[in-house]
Structure 1
Amino acid sequence: MVRVKACGVVPNLHNVVAHYPKWFPFVPLPKLPAIYGLDAAGVVEKVGSLVHGIKPGDRVYVNPGLSCGSCPACRRRDNTNCPAYTFQGYFGFGPGSQQIYEDYPYGGFSEFMTAPAANLVKLPDSISFEHGARFGYIGTTYAGLRKAGLEASQTLIIDGATGTLGLGGTLCALAMGARTIFATGRNKELLAQLKDLDPARIHPIVLGERSVRDVVMEATEGYGVDVVLQALGPGAPVSNVLDSFSALRRGGKAVSVGGVSDPIPLEPFPLMCQQKSFIGSLWFTPAEGENMAAMADSGALDLSVFEHEVFPLEKINEALDAVNHRHGGFTNVVINPSQV
């Protein structure tokens, strides 16, 4: 049992509820009444008799990705591919999700929540609970970059780089040693602020002014980038996705962690000839969460860029409204159930 000290307010929560099932036909929501809250961090209050290695007083992030534990995917420890994979306090991915909601009914918008010991990521003292409440979005992009095989000295495009996911991807790519990051977005002010994080490695591209492919090919002498991290939201045009995909080098990998909702027309023959890949990446494992905590503790992953806006639990509606007026991905809207 974890005493919640901070829970991130997911920018996409309004879209999921308001547009379900049009935009999200594959994500069963919990039966109401339900307690939402995806990204929670806090202090372990109590542990069960079979829990070892986690003790009361430990500072933790609760990875909300839950699985059934008994299907073939779970038995081979590939939990994120469980047919009943479910985000505690958010939504699920199969008919078995409702049972998981009932087993773990408390999301992060509550004073206490229960979670399996295996889902807890220990947080060093150097990581605040507010920063821990941002781990979900950072971890999503970190896992995506790992699936793409991003290595130090490689180049990549981050589409939607100024958003909540995109900023997390930029921070992770910097921490992983990317040589050049082509960061796309529409807000010039936010792109300039993003570039200031590392002016030598971050190269902003304003969407709509020039083709992303043209800019990238000029900068790479026609070679292209090694990786595309696709972090655009549901309303983004498919043309932006295809533009960046065409800037991939031969053998490059594009990873989708965003929510572009319209079908993406990809021709299989060019994919085969150029050996490009388009990969979906959903979430991250607790082990990857531990990696992120270690990178942040060492200073490689810079969490100081976030501007926290903290609300008490009784002002949850004000917090949801604040998400719609945030300063791009730099704003971190958080619920603190202990705050009055």
Structure 2
Amino acid sequence: MTIAQTMTAARMHTIGGEMKIEKLPMPTPGDMDVLVRVKACGIVPNLHNILANWPTWFPHMPQPPLPAVFGLDPAGEIAGVGKQVHGLKVGDRVYVNPGRSCGSCRHCRRGDSISCKHYAFQGYFGFSEHAMQTFADYPIGGLSEFMVAPASAIVKIPNNMDYGQAARLGYLGTAYSALKKVNAGPGDAILVNGGTGTLGIGAVIFGLALNVKKLLITARNKTLLEEIKSLAPNRIEIFSIEDGGVADWVMAQTDGEGVDAFLDCNGPGAGHDTFRQGLLSMRRGGIAVDIGAIAGPVEIDVHRLMDRNQRLYGSAWLTTAEGQEMADMVAAGIVDLSIFETKSFPLADVNGAISGIEQRHGGFSNYVICP
């Protein structure tokens, strides 16, 4: 593959400002890096808030210094490899996990890179002031023709997964990682709050793939709930939160025992009551995982959690190993991503795509930018 000296990218110069399409120097991969020709980069409903409001809402979680090339969920083709990269080659079809860590702290050395104090999402935001070094090492996100990433961040994708579907792997993987944390499997009943959204649908399709016996799905939109149930009518039960309390419904569905696990996929704008209802819906020994990031202090009866031997986790993103597991499940035909309705935009239309994403078909919509 012939590599040019420059590339086209969408770059933001001011907080909340429109991205400008610009020519930038072609990035050069280090010895343990790969150069990826981006074919699709996912965008999600929260992206506008990330770009416009993040520095005000979460000043302790920095973004890349401006001007910056954003873009969280890229997929594409390897265009070049560093001299110490041996397991990947030019032409490989890949997803790039944007999670970056230092690689050498005690957390990274024991395989827990997400706990690294330098952890950041390339092209998005970091989790502490230490992320600034990470942004300096990997400054270009996925809204560009090319980007550089560590070889350790690469997920090889199968031929039956198109680039648009691969650009959804980050949010699918957030749900998949949560399912793994609760050891989801045969015999389990799992409650998913916000099950019709971007995260929730991932919990549904991978919960089914992991042979979960019963998925109890709550949301507000009854039409979308019916579409979710149609994915597996005998294993999925649905409930609109407009029709009453979640806990009472769950107990009726589980003969009074409660669910083995509860995944909350509701976002920062959601009320707290549905989350608390989810906690009340768990059996003794049940596990709750928050991946939706509801905002603000939530009143929780910690004594009840202790008495019932229950656990509450926060789970951020996925590991590259989990991403590869998901890709392998698609390759084997265990998971079918054709339920997603991909809508593609050229890089030149990135600003319109970000502002128009609210007109979507719940979590079934899959918006991507194709540089």
| In the alignment, structure 1 residue 121 sits paired with structure 2 residue 155 | yes
Offset of residue 260 of structure 1: 0.3
In structure 2, C-alpha distance between the alignment counterparts of 1:177 and 1:301, rounded to whole Å: 11
CA gap of 1:220–1:87, structure 2 versus 1, over 3 A, is same
In structure 2, C-alpha distance between the alignment counterparts of 1:266 and 1:317, rounded to whole Å: 40
What are the superposed Cα offsets for residues 229-287 of structure 1, whole Å, 9 maximum, x if unpaired?
Answer: 11001110111100111000000000000120021111221111101111000011111
CA contact (8 A) 1:16 1:23 kept: no
In structure 1, C-alpha distance between the alignment counterparts of 2:59 and 2:229, rounded to whole Å: 36
What is the percent sequence identity of the aligned residues? 47
Moved >3 Å (runs of 4+): 21-26
In structure 1, C-alpha distance between the alignment counterparts of 2:207 and 2:248, rounded to whole Å: 22
CA contact (8 A) 1:148 1:253 kept: yes
Offset of residue 217 of structure 1: 0.5
CA gap of 1:57–1:153, structure 2 versus 1, over 3 A, is same
Equivalent residue for 1:197, pick from 231, 252, 263 = 231
**Aligned amino acid, residue 293 of structure 2:** G
- SS of 1:208's equivalent in the other structure is helix
In structure 2, C-alpha distance between the alignment counterparts of 1:127 and 1:170, rounded to whole Å: 19
CA contact (8 A) 1:23 1:261 kept: no
State the match for 1:75 in structure 2: 109
CA contact (8 A) 2:48 2:355 kept: no
What are the superposed Cα offsets for residues 70-94 of structure 1, whole Å, 9 maximum, x if unpaired?
Answer: 2221122211110110001111111
| In the alignment, structure 1 residue 208 sits paired with structure 2 residue 251 | no
CA contact (8 A) 2:38 2:370 kept: yes
Aligned residues: 337
In structure 2, C-alpha distance between the alignment counterparts of 1:23 and 1:216, rounded to whole Å: 34
State the match for 2:11 in structure 1: none
CA gap of 1:313–1:237, structure 2 versus 1, over 3 A, is same
CA contact (8 A) 1:322 1:333 kept: no
**Aligned amino acid, residue 98 of structure 1:** M
Alignment of 1:1-340 (within 5 A): 1-21=35-55, 23-337=57-371
**Aligned amino acid, residue 315 of structure 2:** S
Offset of residue 21 of structure 1: 4.3
- SS of 1:227's equivalent in the other structure is strand
Offset of residue 105 of structure 1: 1.0
CA contact (8 A) 1:23 1:234 kept: no
In structure 2, C-alpha distance between the alignment counterparts of 1:157 and 1:188, rounded to whole Å: 17
In structure 2, C-alpha distance between the alignment counterparts of 1:121 and 1:18, rounded to whole Å: 30
Offset of residue 24 of structure 1: 3.3
**Larger fraction in strand:** 2
CA contact (8 A) 1:3 1:43 kept: yes
**Aligned amino acid, residue 309 of structure 1:** K
TM-score (norm 1): 0.97
- Structure 2 gap ranges (5+): 1-34
In structure 1, C-alpha distance between the alignment counterparts of 2:240 and 2:56, rounded to whole Å: 29
Offset of residue 19 of structure 1: 2.9
In structure 2, C-alpha distance between the alignment counterparts of 1:200 and 1:76, rounded to whole Å: 41
CA gap of 1:263–1:22, structure 2 versus 1, over 3 A, is farther
- SS of 1:295's equivalent in the other structure is helix
TM-score (norm 2): 0.89
In structure 2, C-alpha distance between the alignment counterparts of 1:303 and 1:207, rounded to whole Å: 27
Q: Which region of structure 1 is more displaced relative to structure 2, 259-268 or 235-244? A: 259-268
Q: Which region of structure 1 is more displaced relative to structure 2, 23-32 or 311-320? A: 23-32
What are the superposed Cα offsets for residues 75-130 of structure 1, whole Å, 9 maximum, x if unpaired?
Answer: 22211110110001111111121111111111010000000001000011111001
In structure 2, C-alpha distance between the alignment counterparts of 1:74 and 1:98, rounded to whole Å: 18
**Aligned amino acid, residue 134 of structure 1:** R
CA contact (8 A) 1:10 1:38 kept: no
In structure 1, C-alpha distance between the alignment counterparts of 2:265 and 2:233, rounded to whole Å: 21
In structure 2, C-alpha distance between the alignment counterparts of 1:93 and 1:151, rounded to whole Å: 31
